[in-house]
């Protein structure tokens, strides 16, 4: 199979994500995408099981999103938000405020999830500084968590398991403890807060599903416990919904299943329906009020160059139209039921420790770290599916528009590859 000219000319100049460039299998050349399909340059077609890192919630190239981007391109692809404002960003902020839980009324846009988390952390720190409190400088985060690749966010990822163990000692030190989910971890969590809460700016968690840290689930009770503890100790609560937001867990936002609202929430990934880079940090009135002042020093000191990009906001507005018109949440839950039945066949296969499903997230956990994830990935490609196992999990986060046949092809490939 020959690769196109651009591939041979360009590959030796690209540096790819999380990739040992020397030993990893060469990346596959993609020609185009549509729905849940990726067409390779050599003509092979793959059913996509992961929606380009969980972003393509409506599938690729959705005509409604494409049209919105085209129309916005003709009018104005981008204008700075410093001193100017445009319809797409304003409409998107208002629409998000209307659907976000619990009075998250202000949205600060950025272009990547990591930056959205950085902004959330900065907001939380400055919330205290603006009130003259200089001692609340730490964030309480949880084992198994993932919040981004930049330096502030690496410091709140899982310190042992995460991909950032390398930088230990260079990163800021924040406490990272077990999520309170059984008697022992609840007691440890309570004890930690009793003695350290006065140093905390905020508690930071991915609600219900810790994604990139290993697709680890917890339940609504844990969220309620975090909210109660934050209230008791007067600490802010940040939910990172970059992975879980926009229907992925079967509710628009995962925390709605527990009827728990944070003080600050981060959004990304599915926000623009996967079409363009866009992220956001939403804050409650209480948080915003701490910045509302006659003192210019009390302003939030942040401003990504491309924040509120008009094309990306147009795509996000079109994505919200689709959530209003078509029942994606029902679809996520139906996909979850089907994945539960179909992936359930993996239970009992050698090396399989657990199978779990939450909305549009299906996980087969292995009893070991998969050293040959690249080889597994190639076997999936040979079966016509795009699935990328990492660490000890093989998972599916398909588009919420995937067909029954396509889903069966994905789950069938997992059962077959793990079965030997
Ligand atoms: C992906 C992810 C991020 C980082 O987003 P980027 O756009 O890759 O910077 C942060 N938090 C969570 C929960 C994520 O899944």
Give catalytic status of residue 178 as yes or no. Answer: no
Burial class (CB in 10 A: 0-12, 13-18, 19+), 196: middle
What is residue 58's predicted lDDT score, i.e. its pLDDT? Answer: 98
Q: What is the pLDDT of residues 59-71, one digit of tens each?
A: 999 999 999 999 9
What is residue 162's predicted lDDT score, i.e. its pLDDT? Answer: 54
Residue ranges of the chain with pLDDT lower than 70? 1, 161-164
Which entry of 122, 138, 143, 269 is annotated as an active-site residue?
269
**38-53: b or e for each residue (b if 16 or more CB lie within 10 Å)?**
bebbeeeebbbbbbee
Q: Residue 219 is encoded by which pair of tokens?
A: 């339940």
Q: Residue 388 is encoded by which pair of tokens?
A: 């990328």
Give catalytic status of residue 146 as yes or no. Answer: yes
In this structure, the number of other CB atoms found within 10 A of the CB of residue 165 comes to 12
Give catalytic status of residue 22 as yes or no. Answer: no
Q: What domains can you pick out in the chain, each with its CATH number?
A: 5-61+327-419 (3.90.1150.10), 76-325 (3.40.640.10)
Rounded distance, CA 391 to CA 105, Å? Answer: 38
Backbone angles phi, psi at 364, to 5 degrees: -110, 115
What is residue 370's predicted lDDT score, i.e. its pLDDT? Answer: 83
Would strands 45-48 and 385-386 be described as parallel, antiparallel, or unpaired? parallel
Residues paired with 238 in a beta bridge: 204, 264
- Residue with CA at minimum distance from ligand 1 atom 10: 147
**pTM above threshold 0.95:** yes
What is residue 93's predicted lDDT score, i.e. its pLDDT? Answer: 98
Q: Which atom of ligand 1 is nearest to the CA of 114?
A: 9
Q: What is the pLDDT of residues 109-122, one digit of tens each?
A: 999 999 999 999 99
Residues paired with 93 in a beta bridge: none
Residue 305 Cα distances to 78, 82, 111, angstroms:
10, 9, 9
């Amino acid at each position: 199979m020959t690769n196109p000219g651009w591939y041979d000319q360009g590959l030796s100049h690209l540096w790819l994500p999380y990739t040992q460039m020397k030993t990893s299998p060469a990346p596959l050349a993609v020609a185009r995408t549509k729905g849940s399909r990726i067409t390779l340059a050599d003509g092979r077609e793959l059913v996509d099981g992961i929606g380009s890192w969980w972003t393509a919630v409506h599938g690729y190239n959705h005509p409604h999103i494409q049209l919105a981007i085209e129309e916005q391109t003709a009018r104005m692809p981008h204008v700075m938000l410093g001193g100017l404002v445009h319809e797409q960003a304003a409409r998107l902020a208002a629409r998000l405020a209307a659907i976000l839980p619990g009075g998250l009324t202000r949205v600060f846009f950025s272009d990547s999830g990591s930056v959205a988390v950085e902004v959330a952390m900065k907001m939380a720190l400055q919330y205290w500084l603006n009130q003259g409190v200089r001692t609340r400088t730490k964030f309480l985060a949880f084992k198994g968590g993932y919040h981004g690749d930049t330096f502030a966010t690496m410091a709140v990822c899982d310190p042992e398991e995460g991909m950032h163990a390398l930088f230990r000692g260079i990163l800021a030190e924040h406490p990272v403890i077990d999520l309170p989910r059984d008697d022992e971890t609840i007691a440890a969590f309570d004890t930690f807060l009793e003695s350290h809460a006065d140093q905390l700016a905020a508690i930071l968690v991915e609600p219900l599903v810790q994604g990139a840290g290993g697709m680890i689930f917890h339940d609504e009770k844990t969220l309620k416990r975090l909210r109660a503890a934050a209230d008791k100790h007067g600490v802010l609560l940040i939910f990172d919904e970059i992975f879980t937001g926009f229907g992925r867990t079967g509710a628009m936002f995962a925390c709605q299943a527990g009827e728990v609202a944070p003080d600050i929430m981060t959004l990304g990934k599915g926000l623009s329906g996967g079409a363009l880079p866009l992220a956001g940090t939403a804050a409650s009135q209480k948080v915003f009020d701490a910045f509302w002042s006659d003192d210019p020093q009390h302003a939030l000191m942040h401003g990504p160059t491309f924040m509120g990009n008009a094309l990306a906001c147009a795509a996000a507005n079109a994505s919200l139209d689709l959530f209003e018109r078509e029942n994606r949440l029902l679809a996520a839950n139906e996909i979850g039921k089907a994945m539960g039945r179909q992936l359930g066949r993996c239970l009992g296969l050698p090396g399989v420790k657990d199978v779990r499903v939450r909305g549009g997230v299906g996980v087969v956990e292995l009893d070991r770290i998969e050293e040959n994830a690249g080889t597994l990935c190639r076997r999936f490609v040979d079966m016509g599916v795009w699935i990328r196992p990492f660490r000890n999990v093989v998972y599916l986060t398909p588009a919420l528009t995937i067909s029954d046949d396509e889903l069966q092809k994905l789950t069938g490939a997992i059962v077959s590859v793990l079965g030997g």
